[in-house]
Structure 1
Amino acid sequence: MQQSVFISGAAQGIGAEIARLFHNHGYKVGIYDINEVQAHALAKELGENAKAGYLNVSNYRQWQMALQEFKNWAGELNILVNNAGILYSGAFENTPIQSHHNTIDINVKGVLN
């Protein structure tokens, strides 16, 4: 059976390159991201063995739905690459509190979800 990989934060940057790498090695690739438009563009670029979907990693229910959708498509999940993450630059004290909360929600809770 063909191996599969689910990648969060895969629409651009490092996540997109991870998706390309696995795809080039014959994997079925799940490209999931909060930026659904770019995720679908990458899946279209890669072709038949790529699937895109929306995922906000800070939302536990979305994780469950995305993983089920992926498993229904791929048959099984062999590898999970938890790549989604954000970074706000600038002085800590000048960063709005909501930005700090977003960082925790995505970079910490997103991994736990």
Structure 2
Amino acid sequence: MMRGLVEGKAAIVTGGAQGIGLEIAKLFFEHGASVAIVDLDEERAQAAAHDLSSIGRAIGLGCNVTDEGSVASAVSAAVDQFGGLDIFVNNAGITRDASLRKMQLSDFAAVIDVHLKGTWLGVRAASDIMREAGRGSIINMSSLSGKSGNPGQTNYSAAKAGIVGLTKASAKELAHKGVRVNAIQPGLIRTAMTEAMPPDVFAAREADIPMRRAGEAREVAGAALFLASDLSSYMTGAVLEVGGGRLM
């Protein structure tokens, strides 16, 4: 029987109770990892973990990624359960879209806090464990919005662009400790959030993609699995675009 690509490894996925995060958690689990599904909605995280496993290889934890103590507690709980930490995926995110003129400062701050501050806290907490072990893979979720900018998303685009800089800077700091830090930039992916878009807007965005279709969350998860596995052992500071050729 073929071994999974992350067999025996321990992973944490933030924002893991739904959407792309849940697909990443599922794929890691299928490939042999023990997975902590971390989410602001603890009940939903626990339910998702229970659906994966009733034998302790998947656990659900509540966590506010903008709170330093909450992130530290989630990492500690996962390490206590699994005996270590090999993979950390910073996936938690929110949107608060509005034009520059209409966006409230609180909406700008909320998106920056969850995406950029939350990712920074995750990188720091995970790397504290990984540098001691001399190995580990941290995967940060950026977006093609952070490459091109989207109207109505000055907050989101700024945060996602910032995640690229954070990824590269932390990758340079941690490489000599055996810890790799990479990022993924998804494009238009079918999730509950994008499928709530007006059909004509969704169709127009889809038409701009060379592959002429939106991506599936599972396809983003595949890129995360690659970066988590030893197949990418000589990659750090990289940004993988999963967008069907959009913006290439």
Question: 1:39 Cα deviation (Å)?
Answer: 0.7
Counterpart residue number, 2:41: 35
Q: Which amino acid in structure 1 is aligned with residue 105 of structure 2?
A: I
Counterpart residue number, 2:108: 100
Displaced runs of 4 or more, over 2 A: none
Counterpart residue number, 1:82: 90
Q: Distance in 2 between matches of 1:3 and 1:88?
A: 35
Question: 1:62 Cα deviation (Å)?
Answer: 0.7
Question: 1:87 Cα deviation (Å)?
Answer: 1.6
The count of corresponding residues between Structure 1 and Structure 2 is 113
Helix, strand or coil for the counterpart of 1:94?
coil
> Deviation per CA, 1:69-89, whole angstroms, max 9, x where unpaired?
000001100000111111222
Counterpart residue number, 1:14: 20
Question: 1:9 Cα deviation (Å)?
Answer: 0.7
Helix, strand or coil for the counterpart of 1:69?
helix
Q: Which amino acid in structure 1 is aligned with residue 8 of structure 2?
A: Q
Between 1 and 2, higher relative CO (CA 8 Å, sep ≥ 6) is seen in 1
Q: Unpaired runs of 5+ in structure 1?
A: none
CA RMSD of aligned residues (A): 1.2
Which structure has the bigger radius of gyration? 2
Q: Distance in 1 between matches of 2:92 and 2:49?
A: 17
Q: Which amino acid in structure 1 is aligned with residue 90 of structure 2?
A: N
Query: What is the TM-score of this pair, normalised by structure 2?
Result: 0.44
Question: 1:16 Cα deviation (Å)?
Answer: 0.3
Counterpart residue number, 1:55: 63
Matched residues, percent identical? 34
Question: 1:38 Cα deviation (Å)?
Answer: 1.3
* 1:58-77 paired onto structure 2 within 5 Å: 58-77=66-85
Q: Distance in 2 between matches of 1:92 and 1:30?
A: 37
